[in-house]
Amino acid sequence: MAHFITSSSPANTHAFFSGVVILDEVPGNKNAVRMACEALSQGPLHETLANVFKGEYGIPLTIDYYNRGRAEFLPGTIAFVQGAVSIDSAQATGDASPKALIRADQLIPMQGDPESSEFGKHMPFMAHGSLSFIGTLVNTRVEPGHRLFVFTTTVYNIERNRNQNAPKFSTFKVVCALPDGPRWNNFPTPANGGQMQASGDWVGFYDINGERCPCVVVTNLSFIRSSIRPTSMYFPDDGDCCCPTCVTWEEENSRRYQEDL
């Protein structure tokens, strides 16, 4: 069933990730921390999709986290993470994946010593993490066993929290795969330019003409109807949202990171 959502301007939105990660590199004891990790992504969902790439354990990510309690994180720690996502596709060169940044609202480590022989026995199931976003459909293609929708989405650039010279927004493509089956067989194919909200299992990066984009096996897909409300100061025609609440929140978040670097 298709659901319809009314939105004034989905041009500048947030993309969200939640899942289990393994920390590869951890910082010193300070408030604003950046950690390299991989989102655990093990399972059968991606096996029938061609052109999907990932790391040894899953999807390489970088986490920015405001460590209020100055908790200690060890390499190899398994943790649950949830937060906003931005992706810099320009960072992908050769076989490298795009730079995917997570601004973590939650980072909850699994208790125990990663070096302990008992640690692995209590690891959570390495299921795919979830990615949710709003985007604009730009292409449709078919692979054996799947219909693929290619979206573009524009979000706040998390790198700007550390580098004020970085672009304010990050625009990237997301490939959504609809598996063959009774649930999706009758789902209508939206027209290019249509706005949709999607969520699903982030299984890796999909190669489109040499560009690696996040690939999501869809669990929920909803149409978004354009608002009939006229252009206002909050949503101007140029798509650069100047909503006072959003701008103030992001600028405050950036200022806080700058102070604690």
CA separation for the pair 53, 95 (Å, rounded): 9
Q: How far separated are the first and last CA of the chain, in Å rounded?
A: 47
**pLDDT tens digits for 214-260?**
999 999 988 887 655 544 444 444 444 444 444 444 555 565 555 55
Placement of tokens 């299984």 in the chain: 203
Cα–Cα distance, 88 to 213 (Å, whole number): 10
Q: What is the pTM of this model?
A: 0.77
| Helical H segments across 22-93, by residue range | none
Q: Between residues 43 and 114, which one has the greater pLDDT?
A: 114
pLDDT of residue 260: 56
In whole angstroms, what is the distance from residue 137 CA to residue 109 CA? 36
Question: Which one is predicted more confidently, 215 or 31?
Answer: 215
Question: How large is the average pLDDT for residues 21-41?
Answer: 78
Least confidently predicted of 53-57, 170-174, 217-221? 53-57
**In this model, does residue 261 exceed pLDDT 60?**
no
CA proximity to 197, closest of 64, 6, 23: 6
Please tell me which of 46-55, 77-86, 107-116, 187-196 the model is most confident about, judged by mean pLDDT: 77-86
Q: What is the pLDDT at residue 8?
A: 39
| pLDDT of res. 251 | 55
Hey, what are 193's tokens? 């330019």
List the one residue out of 161, 157, 121, 178 whose CA is nearest residue 261.
161
Percent of the chain exceeding pLDDT 90 equals 20
Q: Report residue 183 as tokens.
A: 């649930």
Characterize 233-249 residue by residue with b for buried, 16 or more Cβ atoms within 10 angstroms of its Cβ, and e for exposed: eebeeeeebeeeeeeee
List, in sequence order, every beta strand (DSSP E) within the chain.
Answer: 4-7, 12-13, 15-25, 32-40, 52-53, 58-66, 78-88, 99-109, 129-143, 146-156, 169-179, 195-208, 211-226
The DSSP code for 193 is: T
**Cα–Cα distance measured from residue 61 to residue 22, given in angstroms and rounded to the nearest whole number:** 10
Q: Is the pLDDT of residue 123 over 90?
A: no
Question: Please, what CATH class does the domain formed by 4-260 belong to?
Answer: mainly beta
pLDDT at 258: 58
User: Do residues 190 and 198 lie in contact, with contact meaning Cβ atoms separated by under 8 Å?
Assistant: no
Question: CA nearest 167: which of 156, 152, 182, 175?
Answer: 156
- Taking Cα atoms as reference points, which of 126, 19, 127 lies closest to residue 80? 19
Residue 243 pLDDT: 44
Task: Map tokens 């596709």 to a residue.
Answer: 89
List, for residues 70-83, the tens digit of each pLDDT value.
Answer: 777 878 888 899 99
pLDDT at residue 61 greater than cutoff 50:
yes
Q: What is the mean pLDDT of the chain?
A: 75
